[in-house]
Structure 1
């Protein structure tokens, strides 16, 4: 028997169990999040006898006789101060890590209310944030400390909510205090728990299965195999090549392949049952690299071969231009798989709804993508399925694919009982998609003055076991490979190849992260050959309004690449070891694919309700659409209600991907609000009670390979220049990031996106690597190389606003582009430091990695 004080109340526990499990499962304390259960992420921080410590490494025995405090046990004053500071500082994005940050801050304040910046960073060393870059979290903690120290009354912040105002996020308070409900926080009576049995080998022949012993275990409700699937077994965004469950007689294609599912009264019983399922797997040698997979005698991973897609883009005559150029540089580059490392592991809850109906709750980047996949799997009619999004604890592209929501739905459908399935962190690392590993050979040419003349590129992408979005990722890598510069000769050959590795999928930057690294590094070499510096070669060639991009699209009047270069010029030249990189990134899917944003506004109880399926995954879309409605109608945000995505009531606004939602859903929201504004000319809000107004925006673009002289590849492009500055030891001192965002709907949000993207880009360039050997992942959450607060340098963000278009008030997407230039800028800085021209990521022989 173990006794301790929890939030001022005496607790007596008979069982020695993980404190994290006790707090969440027995006490329903959900501010304490389960991010990794490995002691690596800090989302489960609690105060024990005045000190912050991770609940996942404690047991009820270890805390016997101690006093434990969670945010639920804070005083009202403490709650108000932290909610105010974290909202006002802009410290909250996806929010999953924030309660843990607050606990670490409280532990610091127990020691001092006058912390230095270094003390704050050190206090956060046990906490990881993947969204914010820590900058605004540190600011929030400093604000909170001052408020407590000076006994300042928490001010009442009044925002008009207009476009351009740095309004606090609409969901910041509940995320800060741990009130926000993520999927794994859902509790209900009669809830069952599902788990998946996955392949023991990356590649194996599945010869048979015996589930009889597992079915006998008390508490096991059902064991499910492929034979139990009522609908289409294969899933996928564009290519249906991913089995929900592998069938006897088929080969497994990676370690994440599910062979069977178990649903039981508890998760522990379900996992125990996995040990009693007998599977006959004949291990086969995996195909672990694209080059191996491309050999004629390579085993076929899929029936139609190992080539997922092949892209060949040609404009002008690159070979002739290169032959006649003064300077030519060719280099081979290699970039690794990387893990999204969102703080919230994948989770879903499925609940029977009427006769054969189902409601699925999950944190997803598109409720309609989930709807299409699950309805196909279960052969359900549209009116029988409903997908509702809970808060999403980070995504970055990694929550576009099915992870566990389809399995959860299948189990609930077959058992007619509510089921929860949450992936353990290591399972997530094995199962979920990654940023594609690529091998690239780039040739870039210029004349004697440094004016670019042509480029050639060969790109080989590792798609892993399945297609996911490997085709579009390769397209984006190719369409952006020539960079944001003014020249017209290019030939790009790209190929995406199946292997038995973890699948590659959507990841912030979507292929451009990889190809931009090669292009920008080549420019540094060319500048050296010409006798000019890296800044000059970029300024000479930077695309300007009215000029033609290498893909043929005419740069519009809102193009501001030159302005981003001018913004960083002084800091670049003022520092000896400064590297620079320029990039551009599309907003919207583009390349001729239909792309529509949708939003409804409806008057309910005198307030304007915003309804769109566009997922807010931490980027702040919920706040953006509230501000757009406020701007159009000139009403207070307090009169506006943002509703979460729900296939029953919110229109399909497409996936949160391709930096599209602020542009597409933002414009749809503006259109819907304008319709309401027109209606209000003749009627009052009260007269319009229950009336709904639909806004739609269709982005029209041209297909890849269009024969138009100047095709429109995307409706908008953002442009950016970043500078990475090193000290004499090779440590990053500062990053300056100038971003052309068109118009900042919320400057505070934009700054947060830039800061978070820069830190993610630094990780990609310097420390992160998803290690996989013989198609077997070797990384754990704590070994991924994720940067912590103590490792993050000063970040200066510069917002460039030039666009005056009506489309979404001139805003451009900023979510992805922020992480793209950082790695090549770092490469350029190290080249200045030691003269070594590095062509692989993460960069080796640096302050960060040998």
Structure 2
């Protein structure tokens, strides 16, 4: 149908499908990509525009309804509005991945247009239709208040602090994210581009007898249909274990409902998806194994050639079984934690473009070199023929480490020799990508009469789902951190990661430690009750100190700040009879003997310094961290420093953005390169160094788990935290007070936002988020049913940054991305234990005001 629309003050004519939404027309026809497609169901708010003076969800608005109405997108803000909103969100630290931010800005504009001076409650209510998985909302609310003040003329936008260490330096990537100018993969269009779609079965486990694509190939707009036979290289890929088929072949079994059987490339997304209905698969449905117990049972079918046990981890120190017999108090419980969904706001997307006899793949990933290696193997091409480039990454939290859409877009592009973009719907994202591991943890903890911990015995069983992903490594971290940041002389821990026909489980913020932390911290509360000690006191007297040894044998270094975090929250804890407390620690870097290198090159180009590193920024503010390190080391102003991240053709391999490692590893590599630049600048100008490149590397050398060394170095560093959760009289969370030993705070503004976002993620894990499965298939396949907390549900948060020493690297910086989430669920559980005396052994916690009916 032919329509006339009034968009951003201009009349625009479009010819569109009668079922088209306003969002589809804005993005695909008018190329106004500031409004994002985060869910397609009107849940996340990322697509918000103003229509007829009201904020609307463009993904749920039929375009025909927009005729005759004035439509304003983020691109249509006035120059003054753009200046103010970009400044306000940047100054407040309200921007991380940025995918949701333009929608928030348009909601804020609609609010401030009708109510120039809203209170906090009004702002929270206005934003309740929006989701943000990064920030925790608190800084977004501050940003809206700042914008209102500036629009009323009460304040003028100001600059951030200079780019030195410890400064609230304004991150350079914030303004383009606020204004919708940052390019995410699904924003891209190139000439001749095709669109990809993937065929999957509606069951978790099936034996494939035949695949017929004859009719599908003849459908309108279809250019290619591919099956496993069309893969030129190695079909099985994986982040570490090569156990995941890019396409399941005839004669094989599918292992979960997300398995791909065929790919379609067509001239439009509608045509590609329509053609899927014409692919005919002959299959035999098989009973799925939906629990580790079923998978480990005698006679269970083997889901992989290696069997159903992916990995086993053992941690032993002293003689825990014997020591338990001497304890004055012993507590044993079995804990259950669920699968949970990452729910990053940007669904997975990739654009593969044939060029120079190879492929350039634009994507959104936590590690471009990890994707590059698998694409080289899959396509059987020389490494120099594949180039992987990150566009802006709209959140990750561990969920964008594995192949998702990149290999399928690449296969279609290689087969057609045309560009192909493949973007998952939100349903596909929920169905397919790896989740947080569900775990069953049986733990026995004993102490003496004074409350000093003596022994711990734990058995952990992790449901790693259909494929390995990072399941073995997640299990390992869950085991090595199961003791908490406490002195325990006798420890025996056994962990098993088990294949099932559930969705794969892999990396997720905290990497297995939120699960074991929930168990250990609950045990601490029960021991405290048995002895008559305060939960704060039992943690204080057992907290690690310099010279103590971890369960792995590593000696605790002088930079440990766990006791300082306990002191920072003591008053808050003691202020309420219904406060819960939990401590946590988390490694920085891959550790356990795994090769781990950060790299950065500093090039002097055009009188400027350009930082090159493959490290991915998925919202944590890595670009500003690296710029601040260079500025601190060289004395150069930020205005002459740029950053180029995540391009395998331009940037050195700095490893995956995981394990809270980039500030330390790539930060130290950057510092070393900057030190060489600073030396070269003595008596010279940048102009005199034109063309010079200064390279930095940092190798984090560690020992494997169960090393025979007397005092192995399991990890290069650890961060520590304590959180206190306060309940009101109705049993709702009213405030979270959190203290973090993060070494040197390079940018406190960015750090606080990360921590607040991590706390809110932890609150959801504790109270509202679940991921129930039926016969291995997720029951909730929309964003709106996942239980994600919104702005009006989030409590006040108070963050204390403890800067105690830090590592010898990157000016003492330690990571906080994962740690921020780990202790929250346990602290919430502790608060409810004091509130009603009930011991809750599973997540999300039952019998709270947040419990779903």
Report the TM-score when normalising by structure 1: 0.99
Contact 2:14/2:29 (8 A) holds in 1: no
Query: Counterpart in 1 of 2:794?
Result: 792
User: Shift in Å at residue 688 of structure 1?
Assistant: 1.4
Query: Counterpart in 2 of 1:75?
Result: 78
The 5 Å alignment of 1:516-531 reads 516-531=517-532
Secondary structure of the corresponding residue to residue 147 of structure 1: helix
Q: List per-residue Cα deviations over 1:376-398 (Å, max 9, x = no partner).
A: 00011011111111000000000
Between stretches 9-18 and 464-473, larger displacement belongs to 9-18
Between stretches 566-575 and 798-807, larger displacement belongs to 798-807
Cα distance between partner residues in 2 of 1:144 and 1:200: 48
Q: Does 1:283 align with 2:257?
A: no
Contact 1:368/1:647 (8 A) holds in 2: yes
| Aligned CA distance change for structure 1 residues 519 and 151 (closer, same or farther; 3 Å) | closer
Specify which of 267, 277, 285 is matched with residue 265 of structure 1: 267
Contact 2:456/2:488 (8 A) holds in 1: no
Contact 2:315/2:551 (8 A) holds in 1: no
Query: Counterpart in 1 of 2:536?
Result: 535
Query: Counterpart in 2 of 1:250?
Result: 252
Contact 2:160/2:169 (8 A) holds in 1: no
Query: Counterpart in 1 of 2:131?
Result: 128
Contiguous gaps of at least 5 residues in structure 1: none
Contact 2:226/2:264 (8 A) holds in 1: yes
User: Shift in Å at residue 158 of structure 1?
Assistant: 5.2
Contact 1:390/1:644 (8 A) holds in 2: no
Cα distance between partner residues in 2 of 1:491 and 1:86: 48
Contact 1:485/1:550 (8 A) holds in 2: no
Q: CA RMSD in A?
A: 1.0
The 5 Å alignment of 1:595-634 reads 595-634=596-635
The 5 Å alignment of 1:428-827 reads 428-681=429-682, 683-779=684-780, 780-803=782-805, 805-827=807-829
Cα distance between partner residues in 1 of 2:759 and 2:140: 15
Cα distance between partner residues in 2 of 1:446 and 1:359: 58
| Aligned CA distance change for structure 1 residues 127 and 323 (closer, same or farther; 3 Å) | same
Cα distance between partner residues in 2 of 1:388 and 1:201: 34
Specify which of 100, 104, 107 is matched with residue 107 of structure 2: 104
Contact 1:5/1:67 (8 A) holds in 2: yes
Query: Counterpart in 2 of 1:51?
Result: 54
Q: List per-residue Cα deviations over 1:12-44 (Å, max 9, x = no partner).
A: 445432111000000000100000001110000
Runs of 4+ aligned residues of structure 1 deviating over 4 Å after TM superposition are none
Specify which of 60, 65, 69 is matched with residue 68 of structure 2: 65
Cα distance between partner residues in 1 of 2:772 and 2:83: 43
User: Shift in Å at residue 201 of structure 1?
Assistant: 1.3
Q: Does 1:384 align with 2:385?
A: yes
| Aligned CA distance change for structure 1 residues 764 and 682 (closer, same or farther; 3 Å) | same
Cα distance between partner residues in 2 of 1:133 and 1:641: 28
Cα distance between partner residues in 2 of 1:528 and 1:158: 48
Count of aligned pairs between the two proteins:
848
The 5 Å alignment of 1:305-344 reads 305-344=307-346
Q: List per-residue Cα deviations over 1:299-326 (Å, max 9, x = no partner).
A: 1111221000011111100011101010
Q: List per-residue Cα deviations over 1:136-181 (Å, max 9, x = no partner).
A: 11000000001111364433x1532001101111100000000000
Cα distance between partner residues in 1 of 2:850 and 2:333: 24
Q: List per-residue Cα deviations over 1:677-702 (Å, max 9, x = no partner).
A: 11112543112111111100001111
Cα distance between partner residues in 1 of 2:493 and 2:632: 44
User: Shift in Å at residue 199 of structure 1?
Assistant: 2.2
Between stretches 216-225 and 398-407, larger displacement belongs to 216-225
Cα distance between partner residues in 2 of 1:377 and 1:805: 40
User: Shift in Å at residue 608 of structure 1?
Assistant: 0.4
Secondary structure of the corresponding residue to residue 722 of structure 1: strand
Q: Does 1:143 align with 2:146?
A: yes
Cα distance between partner residues in 2 of 1:151 and 1:449: 58
Query: Counterpart in 2 of 1:843?
Result: 845
Secondary structure of the corresponding residue to residue 125 of structure 1: coil
Cα distance between partner residues in 1 of 2:844 and 2:157: 44
Cα distance between partner residues in 1 of 2:397 and 2:220: 40
Q: List per-residue Cα deviations over 1:711-752 (Å, max 9, x = no partner).
A: 111000000000000011110000001000011000001101
| Aligned CA distance change for structure 1 residues 545 and 578 (closer, same or farther; 3 Å) | same
User: Shift in Å at residue 9 of structure 1?
Assistant: 1.3
User: Shift in Å at residue 804 of structure 1?
Assistant: 5.2
User: Shift in Å at residue 95 of structure 1?
Assistant: 0.4
Secondary structure of the corresponding residue to residue 61 of structure 1: helix
Secondary structure of the corresponding residue to residue 174 of structure 1: helix
Contiguous gaps of at least 5 residues in structure 2: none
Query: Counterpart in 1 of 2:306?
Result: 304
Cα distance between partner residues in 2 of 1:616 and 1:527: 42
Contact 2:91/2:160 (8 A) holds in 1: no
Cα distance between partner residues in 2 of 1:690 and 1:211: 54
Cα distance between partner residues in 2 of 1:300 and 1:321: 38
Contact 2:160/2:170 (8 A) holds in 1: no
Cα distance between partner residues in 2 of 1:443 and 1:501: 29
Cα distance between partner residues in 1 of 2:197 and 2:691: 43
Secondary structure of the corresponding residue to residue 715 of structure 2: coil
Query: Counterpart in 1 of 2:830?
Result: 828
Secondary structure of the corresponding residue to residue 461 of structure 1: strand
Contact 1:359/1:387 (8 A) holds in 2: yes
Cα distance between partner residues in 2 of 1:395 and 1:172: 17
Secondary structure of the corresponding residue to residue 493 of structure 2: strand
Contact 1:42/1:100 (8 A) holds in 2: yes
Query: Counterpart in 2 of 1:23?
Result: 26
